[in-house]
Amino acid sequence: MIEAEQLSLSYGAVKAVCDVSFRIARSEIVGLLGHNGAGKTTIMKMLTGYLEPSAGRITIDGFDITRERHEIQRCIGYLPENCPVYPDMSVIDYLDYQASLQGVPSAERAAATRQAIRSTGLEPRAMHSVATLSRGYRQRVGVARAILHKPRIVILDEPTNGLDPSQIQHMRKLIRELAQHATVLLSTHILQEVEAVCTRVLMIRQGRLALDAKLSELDQTHGLQVCVGAPPKRVRAVLAAVGGVERIEETGAEQGRYSYRLQLGESDPAGIACAVGRAMHANGIALYRLQPEIMELEAVFREINEAEEAVHA
């Protein structure tokens, strides 16, 4: 379990991260999503013990990062944004060397290196020098380095950055495979990346946590779009008797057809949709359209950005 409480960090006058809290349980694949400069790398560096928070607290599996940094680093594998890989070494030598730096006992080093090479699909390139590898393979070497010590938590900073579409597919597959044995936290500024691999999203906006949601929750209906043959006053009177509708917004009117968005409460959206349909029928109002409104991640992302821009305008 990763627990971050009210994390903040400033670089001089720049407030990079401000009051960010979250908890990540075992086996989740969490996407840290945000524009360039949002604060994702800074959060990852704090979680991995490379930067000390100006305020706040991090515990990982009960270890406190300020007091037990080495214990924490033993259970974390980290792919930094620009992973340093030595071009002159062969893949296998580089990983063996990294395993020694990470304290993997010498008797276990060959097996650990072999396993990391197998897990990342690097077998065909194991004897090649790093300098000859494509960016996709080099990124895999970075991931292999991160998992040499079989960490329970894998933190990947922009793992697909700069990869071509087929390399991105390979990396996504690799991330899903890693998640079978570890909790994965990855950062990205690409929404589709989160949709493709993550089970949960932490959206970071100007150093603050703007959204923490499971992707499955985002698929749930929070509103209904309705088009009926009655003007607002009448519709409001009819819907006043329907429980669960919290707000009614007029979204358009054309040729006697009036469109509305109904904001629903937490409970039973399908039941409320039935009640809306029945209420229209009972009051002799023609019903032209009644459909759930699904909040897609893209819409949420846009809404949050627009709301923030309005605040800062």
Ligand X SMILES: Nc1ncnc2c1ncn2[C@@H]1O[C@H](COP(=O)(O)OP(=O)(O)OP(=O)(O)O)[C@@H](O)[C@H]1O
CB 247 within 8 A of CB 232: no
In the complex, minimum distance from the CB of residue 19 to ligand X, in angstroms, rounded to a whole number: 15
CB closer to ligand X, 41 vs 73: 41
Q: How far, CA to CA in Å, does 212 sit from each of 21, 23, 199, 300?
A: 10, 10, 11, 11
In the complex, minimum distance from the CB of residue 291 to ligand X, in angstroms, rounded to a whole number: 36
Structure tokens at 77: 């594998």
Q: How far, CA to CA in Å, does 18 sit from each of 7, 106, 207, 291, 301?
A: 6, 42, 5, 39, 19
Helix (H) or strand (E) holding 238: helix 232-239
CB closer to ligand X, 47 vs 227: 47
Using CB under 6 A, list all residues that contact ligand X.
11, 14, 16, 34, 36-42, 81, 189
Q: What proportions of the chain, in percent to the nearest 5, are helix, strand and coil?
A: 40, 30, 30
CB closer to ligand X, 14 vs 237: 14
In the complex, minimum distance from the CB of residue 207 to ligand X, in angstroms, rounded to a whole number: 7
In the complex, minimum distance from the CB of residue 52 to ligand X, in angstroms, rounded to a whole number: 13
CB closer to ligand X, 42 vs 113: 42
In the complex, minimum distance from the CB of residue 37 to ligand X, in angstroms, rounded to a whole number: 4
CB closer to ligand X, 211 vs 295: 211
In the complex, minimum distance from the CB of residue 155 to ligand X, in angstroms, rounded to a whole number: 12
CB closer to ligand X, 197 vs 235: 197
**DSSP string spanning 243-311?**
TTEEEEEEEEEETTEEEEEEEE-SS-HHHHHHHHHHHHHHTT--EEEEEEEE--HHHHHHHHHHHHHHH
The CA distance from 63 to 76, in Å, is: 12
The CA distance from 263 to 248, in Å, is: 6
